[in-house]
Amino acid sequence: MKDALTKLWGQLKLSTKAQLRIMRFFQDEFLVGATGIIFNDKSEVLLVKHSYRDGNRWSLPGGYIKKGEHPKEGLEREIKEETGLTVSADERLKIRTDRKTARLDITYIGSFMGGDFVPSNEVKEIGFFSFDKLPILTKDQLLFINKALKMKSSEAK
C-alpha cells in the first residue's frame, strides 16, 4: 500500500508548497525529520538523488519520522526503505528548524553497515563521495558534512 501511495505521490508532481499543505492536513503543524551523514569505511559520505526533487541534484539521505518512532530508528528505516542499504545512526550532530517548511530536522552521523542499492520510487541513485569530490550540495549540508568529518578525525586521534 505504501509503495502505491509513494508512486502516486511522485506522479502528482506537486510543488513543495502544495506537498507541505497536504502533509500538514494529515499531520501535526510541525513535521519531524531525520537526516544522515553516513560514512563508509573510507570516510566517504553517502549521498542520494531523490526522484521527487527538482533537477538532478544530490543530497543527504533522510526522511520523516513516524509517530512513536525514535529519530535514529526512523533514519535507519527511511534509508533502508529508500535504498536497500543498512546503516547505523550513531551520534546526533545537530537539531535545527526550517521555518520555511515548518520542519524540525535532526541530523545524525552514522555508518554504512552493508547491503546493495535497490532503486525505489523515492531514490533513483546513490553514491559515496570523499569530501574533496562532493557534488554541488546546499551550503548547510556542506557545513554539516565538514563538521562531521572534523568530529570523526578528532575521535580518531
Q: What is the pLDDT of residues 38-93, one digit of tens each?
A: 999 999 999 999 887 666 789 999 999 998 999 999 999 999 999 999 999 999 99
Residues 99-154: tens digit of each pLDDT: 777 788 999 999 999 999 999 988 999 999 999 999 999 898 999 999 999 988 77
Per-residue pLDDT at 26 exceeds 90: no
Q: Global pTM?
A: 0.79
Which residues are 113's β-sheet partners? none
CA 24 to chain CA mean position, Å: 20
Kindly report the CATH number assigned to the domain that includes residue 75. Answer: 3.90.79.10
Residue listed under C-alpha cell 521527487: 52
Per-residue pLDDT at 1 exceeds 70: no
User: What's the full length of the chain, in residues?
Assistant: 157
**Could you list the residue range(s) of the whole structural domain that residue 112 is in?**
2-156
Domain count, the chain: 1
DSSP string, 88-110: EEEEEEEEEEETTTTEEEEEEEE
